[in-house]
Amino acid sequence: MKSVTYEGMTFDEYISKQEIEQIVQDVASRIAADYEDKHPILICVLHGAMFFLTDLMRALPIDCTVATVHLQSYDGTSSTGQVRENVPLRVDIRDRDVIVVEDIVDSGITMHYFKQILRARQPRTVKVVSLLSKPSELQYPDAKPDYCGREIPKKFVIGYGFDIHEYARNLPEIYALREN
């Protein structure tokens, strides 16, 4: 099994490149079926969702546009319980069908908070697609992703966009922190 070490912690391969590709294709097919002719705007939540966004967008055979926002709720391996909007969304989403592209929904505070910001800007619809989610940790029911690639148990993951103090995003696979 492949393993990597960051900050003295060991992480074991958890989701392979091939499995990630399969998950992305599957989510893309579901979205394409629901959004044909709707010209949705994909809002990428930086930085975690950047690889998922680019792979998902290339797998979508429909007309769509993209925008970015930088939200931050995690510090290291745990949630701070607060959401910071480091770089706000700068495009007009009025009457648009919005799809928020997120890396992972954990407690749900990030999506709960961001959906409120979006609704105030009067989009036609807002849905969330998340590569992963941790259902056992969800504290904000309205943050449950409309499209979820894979549900995982309570684990801290890195790679394919997921970071530990901003490092490890560039690993092609997803790794989970080894439990002692």
Catalytic positions are 106
Q: What is the rounded CA–CA span in Å between residue 66 and residue 53?
A: 9
Q: Which of residues 80-99 bind ligand IMP (CB under 6 A)?
A: none
Q: How far is the CB of 95 from ligand IMP (least distance, A)?
A: 27
Question: Does 107 contact ligand IMP by CB under 6 A?
Answer: yes
Rg (CA), the chain: 16
Cβ distance to ligand IMP smaller for residue 9 or 62: 9
| DSSP conformation class of 9 | E
Q: Return the residues of window 18-47 that contact ligand IMP according to CB under 6 A.
A: 45
Cα separation, 124 vs 108, whole angstroms: 22
The one among 162, 171, 174, 175 contacting ligand IMP by CB under 6 A? 162
**Least separation in angstroms between CB 37 and ligand IMP:** 30
**Shortest spacing between CB 40 and ligand IMP, in angstroms:** 20
Say how far apart CA 172 and CA 163 lie, in whole Å: 12
Q: Which of 24, 28, 48, 106 binds Mg ion (CB under 5 A)?
A: 48
Contact 49/101 with Cβ under 8 angstroms?
yes
Peptide bond into 112 cis (omega under 30): no
**97 CB-contact burial (10 Å; exposed 0-12 / middle 13-18 / buried 19+):** middle
Question: Would you count residue 108 as binding ligand IMP (CB under 6 A)?
Answer: yes
Quickly count: other Cβ atoms within 10 Å of residue 90's Cβ.
8
Of residues 31 and 110, the one with the C-beta less far from ligand IMP: 110
The yes or no reply on residue 159 touching ligand IMP (CB under 6 A) is: no
Residues found near ligand IMP in the complex (CB under 6 A): 45, 48, 73-74, 79, 102-110, 156-157, 162
Residues found near Mg ion in the complex (CB under 5 A): 48
